[in-house]
Chains A and B, each alone.
Chain A
Amino acid sequence: MKSLLLLVALGSLAVAPRAARNGTIRGRVELRHQPAPIERRPGVADLGGNAPLDVQNLLRSVVYLESAPRSAFDTESEGHAVMDQRNETFVPHVLAITTGTTVDFPNSDKFYHNVFSLSKTKRFDLGRYAAGNSKAVKFDRAGIVRVFCDIHSHMNAYILVFSHPFFAITDDEGRYHIDNVPPGTYNVVAWHEGASADPKPVTVPEGGTAELDFAIK
């Protein structure tokens, strides 16, 4: 899977003429498994119980082009994204960004969190910081970053870093659309929590829409 995300060899592609009208890829991702809910460890040593965690939306998948038009690499994003820490939960659970994006990790709880990742794509440890504070990490390599809290072991999230802008996160019903795709033929991948569907080829017509559905086991 990581290799699928180690996206995009620069020389891979159908180079679209800039004058051509771009198109859209849309469709639906069907999950054929029920994602396990995020639960605290049993906490046998705790002197009391804890408030229930927020129910997280774990159904969202990410759909992306395995390869992208050369023009997609002309500029690096300097954008910002936010992954909040709220009621011992990372919100959102899945974030998809382009390389060069800085992600802010605000702490919206009344107690400490300690965001860290040991992923090869980006290793970081933001230390402990309190409510109202935020720390940021710039992601400059493409790949998957698993994010955890060192204090609350059940807290986890994914950040998918792409070196092109042709990706989308599905909505609650699994629908997605990737807009502004230059006309051409691409391989498209659907990913969900470390599992992915086999890449599917799709041809995007000039100014038109290509339909592509996935099923992830």
Chain B
Amino acid sequence: MKGEALRVACLLLVCAASSATAQESRFTYAGDVSATVGSADPGFFNYTDYEHSALRMLRIDLSGAWHTNEHVSFLGEVRTENFDEIEPYAAYVRIRPWKDRDFDIQAGRVPPTFGGFARRTYATDNPLIGYPLAYQYLTSIRPDSLPATAAELVRKKGLGWEDVFSIGSQVRDRGVPLVSAFRWDTGVQVHAATHDKMFAATASITTGTVSNPLFKDDNSGRQLAGRFETRPVVGLVIGVSGARGPFVTSDAARAAVGDGHESDLTQTAWGVDVEYSRDHYLVRLESIASDWTLPLVRQPFLQLPLRAVSTSVEGRYKIAPGFYVAARIDHLGFSDVDPGTGATPWDAPVSRLEMGGGVSIQRNLLLKLVYQYNTRDGGPLDHTAHQSAAQLVFWF
């Protein structure tokens, strides 16, 4: 974090510390542990980078909140996946200027403003084991390594788990999903809701973009994101989201087109999500469109923006106390580019059907079993995959 965001965070910390009183101060904590075993995934459909598959993962989250008084709280979460390293997933201060109004300012590494699933990535909140494609599937593009031509981009179809292009970084690394479910962005967020919660709005200014949240900015621009949510009747939640920010790193932009263009090389995303629940069932729909503007370097040029559109529908039904079944159908498509041989999607379209269920062994111990069918229209790897996985979830 740098510049004004750092100064704002420091100011808030000082204010909070000075206003804390021992009588009102309290600390709460929680933990989530999920252990997932699944079949092999040679097609890299569920990978979040070269080494991590969402179907083969041990994830431990510890979160805590220090409520210094009725106006100021500090919240944080650390996470480790497969014991690799402990990451500070969230670390922010929440200011509530008026205790009786739903108006909060959050600063630091804050929850995602964009989308519906982004704040539900905990295993206890996800009725299945896999993630929606928009939040997990790695497209081939990267912020720090850029294709020089449409032909170069098309050659990387289906290789988002580890790829590299000719401009910018030459280190092999993962591409980006439409919206990252695995990192949170850093900045300032404002949230307000009506007293009856029928309407809520959130806006944020952060260092990264929805596909590439950052702790330390890698270009000169900020992302603006907003979300509006309405609950017209109990059980129905309708949300729309938008975000726009510079996507390409300063180094890569300079290598591609020289100085002064990085603010034009953006990611713009739009999303709509709907959730309805009643009795023993719950249905969710979410659709996300993301446009990336990358530099035009050489012919055959990219057809900009590079668009990806994802739609997922998810349902859960409780069939008995402690037992549920769930399913999600998901598609991720890409706009066309012309590498000189005719129009073709810039990455390989993917579809996924996941179904399964869960049984609560006890209230805070859940066993999930799922079957997943993936298809991908292009790329050098497997075009289909039948996968299964089991996940044990414990929370406290």
Contacts and interface: CB of A to CB of B under 8 A. Distances in A.
Given A110-B197, A112-B277, A42 B75 contact: yes
A53 B121 CA distance: 25
Nearest to B322: A118
A46 B28 CA distance: 15
B111 interface: yes
B119 A46 contact: yes
A11 interface: no
A47 B104 contact: yes
A148 interface: yes
A194 interface: no
Contacts of B75: 42-44
A68 to B, nearest CB: 30
B11 interface: no
Contact of B362 (A45, A46, A51, A118): A118
Contacts of A48: 94, 96, 102-104, 106, 191-193, 200, 202
Contacts of A20: none
Interface in A21-71: 39-49, 51-52
Interface of B: 26, 28-30, 63-65, 70, 73, 75-77, 90, 94, 96, 100, 102-104, 106, 111, 113, 119-122, 189, 191-193, 196-197, 200, 202, 227, 234-235, 277-280, 282, 318, 320-322, 360, 362-363, 395
A134 interface: no
Interface in A106-129: 110-112, 116-118, 123-125, 127-129
Given A39-B28, A146-B363, A47 B321 contact: no
A103 to B, nearest CB: 15
User: For the complex, would chain A's binding face be called helix, strand, loop or mixed by DSSP majority?
Assistant: loop
B279 A128 contact: yes
A47 B111 contact: yes
A152 to B, nearest CB: 13
A124 B63 CA distance: 30
A118 B200 CA distance: 34
A117 B322 CA distance: 8
Contacts, number: 101
A14 interface: no
A48 B122 CA distance: 18
Residue of A44, A112, A129, A131 with most chain B CB atoms under a 10 A cut-off: A44
Contacts of A148: 363
Contact of B28 (A42, A52, A124, A130): A42
Residue of A48, A110, A130, A131 with most chain B CB atoms under a 10 A cut-off: A48
B43 to A, nearest CB: 30
A41 B120 CA distance: 14
A52 B96 CA distance: 12
Nearest to A40: B28
B206 to A, nearest CB: 13
Given A42-B30, A43-B75, 5 more contacts: A42-B77, A49-B94, A112-B277, A118-B360, A127-B318
Contacts of A116: 321-322
A129 to B, nearest CB: 7
A118 B197 contact: no
